[in-house]
Amino acid sequence: MSQRSLIYGFHAVLSRLRHHPGSVQVIYLDEARRDKRAQEARRLAEEKGVKLVASEASRLEEMAHGKSQGIVAFAEPIQLARTLDEVLEDLTEPALLLVLDGVTDPHNLGACLRSADAFGAHAVIVPKDRAASLNATAMKAASGAADAVPFIPVTNLARALRELKERGILIVGTDLEASIAVADADFSGPAALVLGAEGTGMRRLTREHCDVLVRIPMYGQVESLNVSVSAGVCLYEARRQRAGLEA
């Protein structure tokens, strides 16, 4: 029997249907829904040849622990790229990678994937241990980005960073106390942006592998941003520089 994962929420399910319909085994849709998103789900399921089952809302909520939004699917896991090598070999521009060190909240992971997709990061890299996995909660928070951005867990993050450096990729870490503002870093060439968990930040060994540390200037009373917001700010700056845009 093939392994399958649970996906819920309209953004996540419809994205999987559009991009990887062959992986979807069955969809359960609230039988009372007649709105535009429900109609789109029915249309896409029929178009892609995916089984759709009309279900009671209470059953869907039980399946998705109260977060179904009226739609649940079971699908085979997908892997956009299995290794860093596969990602880097296919690039037609300098690499832009997002590395998350110790981010354990799946909501934050999903939001980081959304930022990565929005600003054209080529992959999100995480350690296999002591980090959030790409589960149903993360995929819902990603709103479809999990189907577009390669998600690569690595056994040894420090070793992965060393390998990136050997390929000429600049390792840019984020730190509240860094002397360089993110806008003053050079993202014109291949770069990997590294963010740690809120509160603890990057681990010591991860920090030691960074070529440069940058900070996001803060002008209010709060001392730090959510990791997904920080990822969005830094990735936007990288794209701004590459596109030659005005701030």
Q: Which long-range contacts (CB under 8 A, 24 or more apart) does 161-165 make?
A: 161/99, 161/192, 161/194, 161/206, 161/209, 161/210, 162/209, 163/84, 164/84, 164/97, 164/192, 165/209, 165/211
Answer whether residue 147 shows pLDDT above 60.
yes
Distance in angstroms (rounded) separating the CA atoms of residues 33 and 53: 13
Regarding whether 113 and 214 lie in a shared domain, the answer is yes
Answer whether residue 245 shows pLDDT above 60.
no
Answer whether residue 1 shows pLDDT above 70.
no
CATH code where residue 24 lies:
3.30.1330.30
Predicted structure pTM score: 0.79
pLDDT digits (tens, 9 = 90+) for 86-95: 889 889 999 9
Answer whether residue 247 shows pLDDT above 50.
no
Domain stops at, among 49, 75, 101? 75
Regarding whether 100 and 62 lie in a shared domain, the answer is no
**Which of 113, 142, 91 has its CA nearest to residue 232?**
113
In this prediction, residue 243 has a pLDDT band, given cuts at 50, 70 and 90, of confident
Please report the pLDDT score of residue 3 as a whole number. Answer: 61
**Binding-site residue ranges:** 196, 216, 225
What are the residues whose beta carbons fall under 8 Å from the beta carbon of 72, sequence distance 6 or more? 6, 7, 8, 13, 27, 28, 55, 60, 63, 64
pLDDT digits (tens, 9 = 90+) for 185-235: 999 999 999 999 877 789 999 999 999 999 999 998 887 889 999 999 999
Regarding whether 227 and 123 lie in a shared domain, the answer is yes
The alpha helices in the chain, defined as continuous H runs, are 10-19, 36-48, 57-63, 84-89, 106-118, 136-142, 157-166, 204-208, 227-243
CATH code where residue 145 lies:
3.40.1280.10
Regarding whether 233 and 126 lie in a shared domain, the answer is yes
Give the containing element (helix H, strand E) for 29. Answer: strand 24-30
**Binding-site residue ranges for S-adenosyl-L-methionine:** 196, 216, 225
Angle between the 10-19 and 36-48 helix axes, to the nearest 10 degrees?
30
- For residue 125, the cross-strand partners are 99, 152
In this prediction, residue 246 has a pLDDT band, given cuts at 50, 70 and 90, of very low
Regarding whether 200 and 112 lie in a shared domain, the answer is yes
pLDDT digits (tens, 9 = 90+) for 30-87: 999 999 999 999 999 999 999 999 999 999 999 998 889 999 999 987 766 678 888 8
Regarding whether 27 and 59 lie in a shared domain, the answer is yes
Regarding whether 95 and 63 lie in a shared domain, the answer is no
Domain stops at, among 75, 108, 132? 75
In this prediction, residue 19 has a pLDDT band, given cuts at 50, 70 and 90, of confident
Higher pLDDT, 199 or 13: 13
Q: Using an 8 Å Cβ cutoff, are 215 and 174 in contact?
A: yes
Regarding whether 89 and 34 lie in a shared domain, the answer is no
Residues spanned by the domain of 138: 84-243
Total structural domains within the chain = 2
**Which whole number is the average pLDDT over 126-135?**
91
- Within a 13 Å sphere around the CA of 218, how many CA atoms are in the beta-carbon half? 16
Distance in angstroms (rounded) separating the CA atoms of residues 25 and 233: 37
Regarding whether 132 and 12 lie in a shared domain, the answer is no
Regarding whether 33 and 153 lie in a shared domain, the answer is no
Tell me the torsion sign for CA atoms 139, 143, 144, 146. Answer: negative
Higher pLDDT, 20 or 199: 20
Domain stops at, among 53, 75, 97? 75
Between the alpha carbon of residue 164 and those of residues 80, 88, 115, 184, 241, the distances in Å are: 19, 10, 21, 22, 21
Regarding whether 183 and 123 lie in a shared domain, the answer is yes
Helix, strand, coil share of the chain (percent; to 5): 40, 20, 40
Regarding whether 180 and 130 lie in a shared domain, the answer is yes
